[in-house]
Structure 1
Amino acid sequence: MKLTHLCYSVLALSLAMTACKKETDQESAHEKVPGFDTSSLDSTIKVCDDFDSYANGGWKKNNPIPGTESRWGAFNVLDKENKEVRLKGIIQEIVKLEDRKKGSEEQQIADYYQSYLDTVTIEKRSISPLKEYLDKINGVQSLKELASVSGELQKIGVSSVIGMGVDADLRNSKVNVLYGGQDGLSLGERSYYDRTDSSTVKVREEFVKHVDKMFSLATFPDQKPGQTILDFETKLAKLQLTNVELRDPVKTYNKMSFKGFQSLAPDFDLEAFSDKQDIKTDSIVVQNKPYVENVNKLLKATPIATLKLYAKWQLLSRFAGYLPKSFDQENFRFFSTVMRGTKQQKARVERAIRSTDGLLGMPLGKLFSKKYFPEEDKKKVSDMIENVRTVYGERIDKLSWMSDSTKAKAHKKLKAFTYKIGYPDKWKDYSSIEVVKDKLFENVISASLYAHKEEVDKIGKPVDKAEWLMTPQTVNAYYNPLNNEIVFPAGILQPPFYNRDADDAINYGGIIAVIGHEFTHGFDDQGSQFDDEGNLKNWWTASDRANFDKLTKKYIDYFSGIEALPGFKINGALTIGENVADLGGLTLAYYALEKSLKGKAEPAPIDGFNWKQRFFLGWAQVWHMNTTNEALRNQVQTDPHSPAKDRINGPMPHLKEFEAAWKCTPGSKMILPDSARIVIW
C-alpha cells in the first residue's frame, strides 16, 4: 500500500546511513563515551554568531562525508554501528547455523541475505523475473485493462498515479480505513518538475538519460522513453497538491462511499484497480477528489502506448536494485549520485545487511533488542518521559496566549499521551513469507505480498494500538497523533542521544530534547488538530487557535528567510511542524533540567563549560552533520525537516536561555530582541 502513516519523526526516514566500534554483548562492560568531545569545537568562531560552527566546526573538519553517503552526522554514525556492525554480526551468526527450520526467522534471514549476495544467479537470470509482469503490461489494450494491471502491480509495491493505504480513520481513530491519494512521481515532489534553476533543470535532463539507459539495458524497443515519461509525469505533477498543502489533515480528509470514489474516474475503472488489490470496503478517505477526477481526464487523453511505457518504467525502477549489476549501478547513479551527491555504492555485503533489515526488520529487531538494549535503560527513559510530561504541563499553565478552557483540554491530551520504549511487547508472525536462497526477486515479491495482505486485512478492523511503525534498531523516534503516542526505538537510545556515562546537561540537551520534540508534535500545527483520543477534532476556542496560528505564521516567516544554498531557501510552511517541535523540545528539556537541579548543589563545570552551556552543546552534537549540496537541495524541496545546521542555529535566537548561558552581547548574529522572539510552548 502506497500511502504512509501520519506520524512525525525526529529525522527524515530516508537516510542512507553509515562508523563503528567493537561489538559487545549487553552483559559485557561497555566502552565509556565522553559526554561531549571538546575536539568537536572550533574556538575561532564566535559562539553567538554561529553556534553550529562553534560547537561542531572541529567535528565537521575531521569527519568528511564518506563516498558512500550523501550526509554524515550523529544519526548516520550510530545507524552504521547498528546495521553494519551489530546486525551484521547477528546475521552472520545465523548464517553459520545448521538445520534451520523452514519458515523460521533464522531460515528467512539467512536465506534472504544469501540470495542478495548470490550475484552469479542474479546476473544469469537477467530481467527474466520481470517477464510475467512485463507480459501483462504489453498485453494491455485499453484503459480498463491498464487499471487492472496497475492494481496487480501495486500489490508488489509498483507505483501508479493513485496510491492506496490503510491507517486509522482520522475522525474515528479506533478503526482502520482505506485511504486513496496522489502518487506516481519518480522525482518525488512536484517542484522538481517546474523549477527553472539550473540544478533542477539538470536533474530533469539526467532523469531522461536515466530512463533511456534503463530501457536500453532491458533491451526494450521503445524510442525516447525518458522524454515521454518526463512529459507525462510533468502533466501529472501539475494536478497534485504541494507538499505544504498535504500537511492540512482537514483539507485532505474527504470520506465518501467507495462507489462514489469509483465514479470519480469512470474511464480508469477504479473498481478493477481495487479488486486486483483484494480491497473490500464500503468507504474510503480521498486525499484530493479533484485530483482523481483530473487524473481520469489525463489518462483518457494520453495514448495507451504512453501509459504502458510509464507502467514498464515504474516496474523497472521499483526492482532495479534486485536486478543485474548494470541496472543496479545505473539506478544508484541517478537516485543517489545525481539526486543526493553520493559518490559510491556501499559494498554488496553492507547492502545485503540493509536489504535484509528492510524486509525482515522486526525479526532482526527481536534479536537486536535482546542483545543490545538493557532493560534498566527502559526504566530510565520512562522516567525521563514523565519528567518532560510534568514540565509540559507547567508550561501550559504559564501560557499567556491561551485561555483556561483550552488549557484544560491541552492538559487532558497531555495526560492521555502514551509511549513505547525499545521494542514491541509482542512480535508479528512472518512465517508465511516464502524465502529461498537462490531467488532474490521472488523473495522480495513474497515479502511485498505479505505486507500488502497485512494492510488490506486491517480495513474496517479495530486499530492495533500495540503496533510499531519502526523497527527497534532504527535510529529515530516518532509521534503518532492517531494513537496520541510517542515511540522511542532502542536504536536511538545510545550515545550521543542517550549516554549513561554523560552528565545530566548533555543528556537533557540530547535525548530529553528529542523526547520533548516528540511531545511537542502533539501540539504542533498538525498534531494540535487531534484530540486526546487521536481524533481529528477541534478542541480550541476560535481566539486561542487564532493566537496559535499567528505565532506559527511568524515562525514560518522566520525560517523562510533562511537560505540553505544559493537560490534554495528553507520552506517555512513545509518545515513548521518540525521547527515548532525543535523549539518546544529544547524549551521543555531546558526547564526539566533546571527543575531536576532544584535543591541540589550547582554542578561543577566540565571542560570549562557550566551546565547551561553543556545543555546546548548536547543539542548541537546530536545534529552535527556534513551534507552534499545535492542532498541539501533535495531536502529543502521534499523534507519537512530543516537542514541540520538550521535545526541547531534556528531556534537559538528565540531562546533567551541560550543568550544568558553564553553571555551573548547585543549585535551578535544569533540574538534577537525580546519583541522578535517567538515562544509557543
Structure 2
Amino acid sequence: MRRLLLATTLFATPALLAGCTRAERPAPAAVAQQTQTVGEAAVGPVTPAPAPAPQIGSFGFDVAGMDRSVAAGEDFYAYANGTWARTTEIPSDKSNFGMFSVLADLSQERTHSILEEARAEGSKIGTAYAAYLDRQAIDARGLEPIRPWLNRIAGITDTGAYAALAAEADRAGIPIPFATYVGQDDKNPEVYALSLAQAGLGMPDRDYYLSDEARLTETRNAYREHLARVLTLAGEPNAAERAQAILDFETAIARAHWTRVDSRDADKTYNKMTVADLTTRAPGFDFVRYFEGIGAPVDSVIVAQPSAVEGIAQLIADTPVQVLRDQLMVRSLDSFADVLPTAFDDAQFAFYGTTLSGTPEQQARWKRAVDFTSAALADEVSQEYVARYFPPETKAAADELVQNVIAAMGDRIRGLDWMSAETKERALAKLAAFTPKIGYPDRWRDYSNLEIRPGDAFGNNWRANQWAHNYNVGKLGQPIYRWEWGMTPMTVNAYANFGMVEIVFPAAILQPPFFDPNADPALNYGGIGAVIGHEISHHFDDQGSKYDATGQLEQWWTPEDLAAFEARTAALSAQYDAYEPLPGMRVQGDLTLGENVADLAGLTVAHKAYRDSLGGQEPPVLDGFTGDQRFYLGWAQVWRRNYREANLRQRLLTDPHSPSQQRTWVVRNLDPWYSAFDPQPSQQLYLEPAERVNIW
C-alpha cells in the first residue's frame, strides 16, 4: 500500500545546508584576504564572487506574495500567500495552479526538448511522441483503428462472453466494473498477490450518482448528455435512451460501492479468499474466465470490498447485455479519445475536463504528447531526463537531509510521553528499516518487446497499455521488485510505500520552492524537509502504523498505546471536519486523516531537524524574519494553490488530501509556531494548548 503526497527546479548542488547556518559560512572579509597564485607568483588579494542568490526572493521566500494585512493567527495561508493568491490566475488549460504546477510545467518543458530531439533522431520515444502529435493523421483514419474492437463488443451475447471481453478490455487499459492489480500481499510482503476491487463508475465517486446536492445533480445530467454524445458520434441509434440505461446501471453500482473512508482502511480491505470461494459468493460474473483472460489464473485473490464486488457481479448478471455492451463501448471510446478523431477528444474533455474540473481549455497537443510518451515509455524518457537535469551531487545532498529528518523522527519517538517503551522499541525498529529512494531508480525497465509504430497513435497507446498490464501481472511468482519505483523522476511528488518500508522522492520535487541550495536553510527544512517528514510520518499515520518493520500488516502496538494514538487521530479528524472550503462542503476529516497526520508529524519532525542543525545557536534575522518564522513561511509557500470551484468540489469528495489552505493551517497545533508568530486567543487559528493535537 502506498500513500502519496499529492498535490506539483533548478537542482541542488552538493551544498545543501543540512547542518550549516549562514553564520557558519566564511565571512566575506576573510575570503577577501585569500590570494591566488599562478605558478609561484602571488597575484595579490582577490575579490570573491558574490554568493549565488536563491531562486526566490532574498532568502528563498516570496515576500511580495504575502498579505500582511491578514494576521498570521487569523489565516496563516493568507498571511503568507494572500497577494500571490489574489493576483495569480489559473492558466486556461488547468483546473488548479500552484507551486506543484510550476514545477510540473518545468518538467514538461524539459521533457519536451528531449522528445523533440528524439523525434528528429527517430528513436523509439521520438517515434511514439511524433505519432501522438500527428492529429491530422489521427483524424484521417477516423474510427478505423478501434472499429475491430467495437465490433467485438457488439458481438457479446451473454455474460460469459462479457467476462472474457472485459478481461481483454482490462489488458488494454479500458475501465470495467472491477479493478485488478498485482502488488505485495499485505500479510506476506515477500510475495506478490492479485487484488480485486470495486470499479465501474464513469464519474469520480458514488456521491456523484447518489447525492441530491444541486451541483452534483447538474453534473449527473451533463454526464448523461456526454454518454449520449459519445454513442451518437459512434453512429449508434437511440443514444439518449441508451445513455439513461448506462447511467441507471452505474447508479446501481454506486449504491453497492463502499465509501472512500471504508476503502482506505487497510484492515477492512484485506480479505483473502480462494477463487472458488469468490465464485460461490459472487456467481453473477465468471471470475475464473476473467482471471485467465487477464493472464492471472490464480487460486486465491485479495478482495478489497467483498460486498461491493458481490453486488456488482449480481448487477452484471441482472443487467441486459445491451447495456453492458454500451457501457463498454463508451468506456473504450473515452479511454482512447485522445488518439481518435477530434470530435471524440473534444467530447471527452468537455465533460471530464470542463464539467468535472472546470478547466476551460484543452492542453496543447505537444503537452499531451509529452505526457503520453512519458507514461508509455517511462523509463526510457526518465533516463534522458536524469542525465540532463539531476546530477549525482544533488542526490547525495538530498540523502543527507533525509537522514537528518529520519534522525529527528527517532528522537521524537523516544521522547513521546503517551507511548510505552515496548511500542517505542518497535517503532524505532521500523524507522531503522526505512529505505529512502532519492531522484531515480538504480535499475530501468526494458521496453524492447513493446512495439511502437510510426503514424499509429492508437495502436501505440493500445500496445503500451497491454505492455504495462502484462508487466504488472508478470510479477506473480517473482521475487519482490525492490528496485522499482511508482513514479518517474519527472514527477513533482513523493510517496511512502508501506509494504516496501520505503520513502521515495523523485528528482523533480528537489527544486525551489521545496529545495534550493542557495536558500536559507530554514526554507529548505520548511519545504523539502517537511515533505520528507511527511513521507516518513505516513508510515506512522492511521493506516501506515498498521504495518510493522517488515512491511507486514500486523498489529505491533500494545492496546493501551493504540487507544492513546487513536484518541489523538480522532481529535485531528474532528479538527478538519470543521473546515468548510466551499459553502455547504466540508473537509472530510476521516478521509483526509492519513495526510493530515503526515502533515502534522512531518512538519513537527522537520522543525526539530532544523533546530538540531543549528547546533544550539540562534539563526540570524533575515529581512525582519526569525529562523522559525522563515521555517513556517517555507511550509506555507509550497502549498500555494488556486482552485477552480468544480475542481475543489471534486477534491472535497474524493481527495484524501485536504485543500492547500487547510494543509497550511496545520501549524495551529504546533507550539513553536505560536512562539514565532504570537497569534492571539481571539484569532481564528488560535487553539488553547490543551486543544492542540500532538501525535508524533
Normalising by structure 1, what TM-score? Answer: 0.94
Whether contact under 8 Å (2:184, 2:190) holds in the other structure is yes
Deviations 1:134-176 (CA, angstroms, capped at 9, x unpaired): 1111111111111111111111011111111100000111110
Q: Following the alignment from structure 2 to structure 1, what is the Cα–Cα distance between the partners of residues 382 and 499? A: 24
Q: Give distance in 1, aligned partners of 2:69 and 2:297.
A: 64
Do structure 1's residue 231 and structure 2's residue 248 form an aligned pair?
yes
Q: Which amino acid aligns with 1:95?
A: R
Paired with 2:3 and 2:497, the residues of 1 have a C-alpha distance of 7
- Distance in 2 between residues matched to 1:31 and 1:115, nearest whole Å: 42
Give the partner amino acid of 2:270.
Answer: Y
Match of 2:117 in 1: 93
CA offset at residue 269 of structure 1?
A: 1.2
Task: Say whether residues 1:293 and 2:315 are aligned partners.
Answer: no
Counting only pairs closer than 5 Å after superposition, residues 303-452 of structure 1 correspond to structure 2 as 303-452=320-469
Aligned equivalents of 1:24, 1:296: Cα separation in 2: 52
Could you report, residue by residue, the CA deviation over 1:209-231 in whole angstroms, capped at 9, with x for unpaired residues? 11111111111224323221111
**Distance (whole Å) between structure 1 residues aligned to residue 321 and residue 353 of structure 2:** 31
156-165 vs 293-302, greater mean Cα deviation: 293-302
Are residue 281 (structure 1) and residue 298 (structure 2) matched? yes
Choose which of 204, 209, 214 in structure 2 pairs with 1:198: 214
Task: After superposition, give the CA deviation of every residue in 1:36-94 in whole Å (9 maximum; x if it has no partner).
Answer: 121111111112101111110121223211111110000000100111x2111111112
Q: Which residue of 1 aligns with 2:24?
A: none
What residue in structure 1 maps to residue 489 of structure 2?
Answer: 472
Q: Which residue of 2 aligns with 1:678?
A: 693
Partner residue in 2 for 1:630: 646
Counterpart of 1:384 in 2: which secondary structure? helix
Alignment check: 8 A CA contact 1:255 1:284 kept: yes
Match in the other structure for 1:10:
5
Contact 1:144 1:268 in 2 (8 A): yes
**Inter-partner Cα distance in structure 2 for 1:460 and 1:96:** 41
**How far, CA to CA, are the matches of 1:399 and 1:32 in structure 2?**
37
Aligned residue among 630, 654, 675 for 1:660: 675
Q: Distance in 1 between matches of 2:616 and 2:629?
A: 20
Contact 1:281 1:460 in 2 (8 A): no
**Partner of residue 51, structure 1:** 76
User: Distance between the aligned counterparts of 1:296 and 1:512, measured in 2?
Assistant: 46
Counterpart contact for 2:334–2:344, Cα < 8 Å: no
- What secondary structure sits across from 1:571 in the alignment? coil
Check whether the contact 2:153–2:165 (CA below 8 A) recurs between aligned residues: yes
Equivalent position of 2:146 in the other structure = 130
> Per-residue displacement from partner, 1:474-510 (whole Å, max 9, x unpaired)?
0000000000000001010011111111011000000
Q: In the alignment, is the contact (CA less than 8 A) between 1:422 and 1:489 conserved in 2? A: yes
Q: How far apart, CA to CA, are the structure 2 residues paired with 1:567 and 1:320?
A: 35
Is 1:594 paired with 2:611? yes
Q: Which amino acid aligns with 2:631?
A: F
For 2:73 and 2:350, how far apart are their aligned partners in 1?
40
Aligned equivalents of 2:93 and 2:283: distance in 1?
Answer: 47
Assess if the C-alpha contact under 8 Å between 1:257 and 1:282 holds in 2: yes
CA contact (8 A) 2:98 2:641 kept: yes
Shift of 1:25: 13
Q: Is the 8 A contact 1:42 1:56 kept in 2?
A: yes
Q: How far off is 1:599 after superposition? A: 3.7
Q: Can you list the C-alpha shifts for 1:182-220, whole angstroms capped at 9, x where unaligned?
A: 011111211111111111111101001111111111112
Structure 2 counterpart of 1:88, one-letter code: H
Q: Secondary structure at the match of 2:260?
A: coil
In 1, the alpha carbon distance for the partners of 2:342 and 2:54 equals 42
Q: Using the TM superposition, give the Cα deviation of residue 264 of structure 1 relative to its aligned residue in structure 2, in angstroms.
A: 2.8
Aligned partner letter, 2:189? S
Structure 1 residues not aligned, in runs of 5+: 1-5, 101-106
User: 1:3 corresponds to which residue?
Assistant: none
2:12–2:394 Cα contact (<8 Å) kept? no
Shift of 1:390: 1.2
User: Quick check: 2:12–2:397 contact (8 Å CA) kept in 1?
Assistant: no
1:184 aligned residue: 200
State the AA in 1 paired with 2:110.
R
Please tell me whether residue 490 in structure 1 is matched to residue 507 in structure 2: yes
Q: State the Cα deviation string for residues 95-128 of structure 1 (Å, max 9, x = none).
A: 222xx4xxxxxx2211111111211221111112
Which structure would you say has the larger Rg? 2
Unaligned runs of 5+ in 2: 15-50
Residue pair 1:25, 1:372 contacting (<8 A) in 2 also: no
What's the counterpart of residue 101 of structure 2?
Answer: 76
CA RMSD of aligned residues (A): 1.8
Contact kept in structure 2, 1:530 and 1:536, CA below 8 Å: yes
> 1:420 offset after TM fit, Å?
0.6
Could you say what secondary structure the match of 2:272 adopts? strand
Matched-pair contact (CA < 8 Å) for 1:555–1:572: yes
Cα 1:31/1:93, change in 2 over 3 Å? farther
User: Deviations for 1:433-468, whole angstroms, at most 9, x for unmatched residues?
Assistant: 111121101001111111111111111322111100
**Are 2:135 and 1:113 aligned?**
no
Q: Specify the code of the residue in structure 1 equivalent to 2:363.
A: K
Alpha-carbon displacement from aligned partner over 1:528-580 (angstroms, at most 9, x marks no partner): 00000000000001111111111111111110110010011001000000000
TM-score (norm 2): 0.92
Specify the alignment match of 2:48 in structure 1.
Answer: none
Whether the 8 Å contact between 1:281 and 1:459 is mirrored in structure 2 is no
- Once the two structures are aligned, what percentage of the paired residues are identical? 39
Give the aligned partner of residue 660 of structure 2: 644
Aligned-partner SS, 1:187: coil
Q: Larger deviation: 408-417 or 393-402?
A: 393-402
Q: Quick one: distance in 2 between partners of 1:383 and 1:74? A: 24
Change (3 A) 1:31 1:183: farther
Instruction: Give the Cα separation in 2 of the matches to 1:344 and 1:514.
Output: 31
Which residue does the alignment assign to 1:65? Answer: 90
Structure 1 ranges of 4+ moved more than 4 A: 23-26, 29-32
Return the alpha-carbon distance in structure 1 between the equivalents of residues 181 and 684 of structure 2: 46
Distance apart, 1:260 and its partner CA: 2.1
Letter in 1 for 2:432: K
Aligned to 1:33: 55
Pairing partner for 2:623 from 607, 617, 627: 607
| Cα distance between partner residues in 2 of 1:437 and 1:42 | 53
Measure how far apart 1:30 and its partner are: 8.9
Give the Cα–Cα distance (whole angstroms) in 2 for the partners of residues 39 and 495 of structure 1.
16
Q: Secondary structure at the match of 2:570?
A: helix
Q: Distance in 1 between matches of 2:458 and 2:557?
A: 51
Q: Hey, what's the Cα distance between the residues in 1 that align with 2:432 and 2:304?
A: 31
CA distance in 2, matches of 1:361, 1:369: 12
**Aligned residue pairs: how many?**
656
